Amino acid sequence: MKAKQNWRLMALLLPAIALICVLFLNPLVGVLIQSFVGDDGFTLKSISKLWTSRLARVVLERTFWLAFTVTVICLLVGYPAAYYMSQLRPRKRAMITYLVLLPFWISILIRTYTWIILLGREGLVNNALQWLGLTEQPVQFLYTNFAVHLGMVQILLPIVILPTVAGMVNIDGGLIKAARVMGASPIRAFWSVFFPLSLSGAATGGLICFILSLGFYVTPTLLGGQKSLIIANLIDLQVHKTLNWGFAAALATALLLATLLCLLIFWLATRNRPEFATGGLSR
């Protein structure tokens, strides 16, 4: 009876398995294969271009550096904001969480588009700077690294803040009180007790932020211009302009492996730490 029921239940999985196999695993495996296949069978030509081609090296380096700097900025800006949220009463915190979540519901494309309007030569920011007499000439904001960072941090900040808050809320307040009773100053109690305990949530947020940054396409393309080509742009160019499928697939493979590697490192570093068991996302 029990076994039969299990079979019936497993049948319910079939549509999902079919969809994921045909339109998720199949394309990903196709990309992997494509990066090892040339005109005459197996080849390492495409893959080896990842380190022999100067363009690929520069773009890979730039992508990782961009993801890293965006993540660091998000953590630095997001951590104090998360701390403020974690100290509020649950009711107020829930209300404020909506505010932080609200931008999720604005398309990434549109959020990026707004920066184009605001940062342009005739845009609000430049007009304000000139009106204040800070600059004579319009400042070039668009198509710079600054614009790319601004746009990406705006999009990824909630993704860092929310797991960090969840991690902080789980910290037992009694521990901080105990530290205070034992004579620690508020600052000492924060740095030696609260901060280490809050790292699990912040690390989770930072990891998700880093992985998503690696694959970002819309924002760097629209705000970055020619000089800040990153992996996703290069893949697009190889497919639509130079029609070099092998190289496009090799770049995609590199991106995929980097993502998996991040997850693996995170898993290895946290599997024996119970506070990570929920990934800081439990609440």
Partner 1 sequence: MIRKLLAFHFWLVVLFLLAPLIFLIPISLGESQFLEFPPKQLSLRWYREFFQQESWMEALSLSFRVGLGATALSVIIGTLASVALVRGNFPGRSILTALFIAPLIVPTVVLALGLYMVFLRWQLVDNTLALTLAHAVVALPYSILLVSSSLRSFDMTIERAARTMGAGPFKAFMLITTPHLAPSIFAASVLSFFASFDELIITLFVSGGQQTLPVRIWNDLSLKIDPTVPAAAVMLTAVSALLMLAGEMVRRRNEAHNQNSHNAEE
Residues 186-225: x where in contact with partner 1 by CB under 8 A, - otherwise, as a string: ----------------------x--x--xx-xx---x---
Q: What is the rounded distance in angstroms from the CA atom of residue 165 to the CA atom of residue 85?
A: 7
82 close to 165: Cβ distance less than 8 angstroms? yes
Among residues 231, 247, 279, 280, the one that binds partner 1 under rule CB under 8 A: 231
Residues 119-158: x where in contact with partner 1 by CB under 8 A, - otherwise, as a string: ---xxx-----------------------------x--xx
Q: What is the rounded distance in angstroms from the CA atom of residue 159 to the CA atom of residue 78?
A: 9
Among residues 83, 143, 146, 195, the one that binds partner 1 under rule CB under 8 A: 83
CB of 54 to partner 1, least distance (A): 22
**How does DSSP classify residue 138?**
P
160 close to 202: Cβ distance less than 8 angstroms? yes
CB of 107 to partner 1, least distance (A): 5
Among residues 159, 179, 232, 280, the one that binds partner 1 under rule CB under 8 A: 232
Among residues 56, 66, 179, 235, the one that binds partner 1 under rule CB under 8 A: 235
Residues 86-115: x where in contact with partner 1 by CB under 8 A, - otherwise, as a string: ----------x--xx-xx-xxxxxxx-xxx
Residues 16-55 interacting with partner 1 (rule: CB under 8 A): 16-17, 19-20, 23-31, 34
Applying CB under 8 A, which part among 47-55, 73-81, 140-148, 168-176 lies near partner 1? 73-81
Among residues 130, 199, 239, 244, the one that binds partner 1 under rule CB under 8 A: 239
Distance of CA 192 to the CA centre of its chain: 28
**How does DSSP classify residue 192?**
I
* Residue whose CB is less far from partner 1, 236 or 275: 236
Q: Name residues whose C-beta falls within 8 Å of residue 215's C-beta, 6 or more positions apart in sequence.
A: 231, 232, 255, 259
Half-sphere exposure of 157 (CA within 13 A, CB side): 21
Three-state SS at 41:
strand
How many residues contact partner 1, by CB under 8 A? Answer: 73
Q: How many residues does the chain have?
A: 283
* Residue whose CB is less far from partner 1, 200 or 230: 230
CB of 174 to partner 1, least distance (A): 21
Q: Is 185 in the site for partner 1 (CB under 8 A)?
A: no
Question: How far is residue 236 from each of residues 207, 232, 252, measured CA to CA in Å?
Answer: 25, 6, 10
Q: Name the β-bridge partners of 38.
A: 41
Beta strands in 52-124 (DSSP E): none
CB of 244 to partner 1, least distance (A): 12
CB of 110 to partner 1, least distance (A): 4
Distance of CA 32 to the CA centre of its chain: 23
